[in-house]
Amino acid sequence: MEIKVLGPGCPKCHEAEKLVREAVAEAGVPAQVTKVSDFKEMAMLGVFATPAVVVDGVVKCSGKVPSKKEILAWLGK
């Protein structure tokens, strides 16, 4: 599973990344979590509001910090 946390580095983006990493650890699923701060790459993914979370190429959340419950649902837990 590939998870991308998109954002320029604002506090909300850091919070989203922290929650994603915590949820992955809690769920025990094998996932590669990467932080994307390049605006061109974000635009290519169709994201124009950050923070955003992309799971296996699908934008799951954009423009808000997701809850850990939401993230766990995306992970199948």
Pick from 15, 6, 22: nearest CA to 77: 22
> What are 4's two structure tokens?
């991308």
> What are 31's two structure tokens?
């996932």
Predicted TM-score (pTM) of this structure: 0.93
Range of the domain at 58: 2-74
pLDDT for the residue 77:
75
Percent of the chain with pLDDT over 90: 96
Q: What is the CATH number of the domain that holds 40?
A: 3.40.30.10
- Over the stretch 42-72, which tens digit does the pLDDT of each residue have? 999 999 999 999 999 999 999 999 999 999 9
> What are 41's two structure tokens?
């790459």
Task: Tell me how many domains the chain contains.
Answer: 1
